[in-house]
Amino acid sequence: MSGLRVAVDKDSGVAVVTLDRPHRLNAIDLALRDALVGAWRELRFDDSVRAVVLTGAGERAFCTGLDRDAEVPQPDSPYMADDPLLRVGPKANDLWKPVVAAVRGMACGGAFYLLGESEFVIADTTATFFDPHTTYGMVSAYESVLMAQRMPYGEVARMMLMGTAERISARRAHETGLVCELTEPGAALEAAVECAAVIAGYPTEGVQGTVRALWAAREAALAAGFAQAPHLISLGNLPDERQAELFAARRPEFRTR
């Protein structure tokens, strides 16, 4: 099982891509990673799809990043570190159709690869956002670069540095620009589909050209940040065994702001 569902409504031109591992809080294992890459590439060639909605199954989480049980082979070289989620998003796979993210529950860590490559985010009031990397002795590199394009620097810095001690509420995410619309609990998907259907009804070339232009405005900064990321991760990450110890000793308390 890949843990991914893709439903295409040819009448509206909207595809809904659902991370479907609610028992793992929609964490991304390598099978789901590969399924996402495959889905984005297939959607490139499906002319009946003119807009995409990305969401997560269940009520507890949109996505909690890389599944901690995933075994990621690594070359024995600091120059060839393999980030398993680097190519997981739509832009990394040259999909220039608009993607609207619908968030319910938690979105953290590697979820920012997906949110960072969506055109905009709609969330319901149960949504929370945080990044656990620093708590467990890891560098938040790619996630920080992506979110620095979506939120004020101080807000991104606080979220990344506070780790699991603090979560950003849906309200605060809306205030800082990460989220563009708040809905009642359970209504984010419907709102995202409605927006996607409107966009899908416009002439395709103009929409896709606009998506490409918007991304072009961000590419230079992303490229510079991403170029530094592998070295910072190699230098700053604790050994896997120590990360696991910190994860096992984690405290459940956190504050939401």
- CA-to-CA dists, residue 21 to 34, 54, 84, 119, 122, angstroms: 14, 14, 18, 24, 20
Q: What is the pLDDT of residue 116?
A: 97
Within 10 angstroms of residue 247's Cβ, the number of other Cβ atoms is 14
Candidate from 94-108, 135-149, 217-231 with smallest mean pLDDT: 217-231
- pTM of the complete model: 0.94
25-36 pLDDT tens trace: 999 999 999 999
Confidence of residue 83 (pLDDT cuts 50, 70, 90): confident
The vertex-75 CA angle with 69 and 79, nearest 5°, equals 120
Comparing C-alpha atoms, which of 173, 159, 166 is closest to residue 255? 166
Which residues are CB-contacts of 222 (< 8 A; sequence separation ≥ 6)?
Answer: 145, 146, 149
Confidence of residue 1 (pLDDT cuts 50, 70, 90): low
Domain ranges of the chain: 4-188
**Averaged pLDDT score across all residues of the chain:** 95
Q: What is the pLDDT of residue 74?
A: 76
Residue 217 has pLDDT above 90, yes or no: yes
Percent of the chain exceeding pLDDT 90 equals 87
97-119 pLDDT tens trace: 999 999 999 999 999 999 999 99
Q: What is the mean pLDDT of residues 220-234?
A: 91
**Greater pLDDT, 69 or 113:** 113
Architecture of the domain made up of 4-188: Alpha-Beta Complex (3.90)
Which residues are CB-contacts of 161 (< 8 A; sequence separation ≥ 6)?
Answer: 134
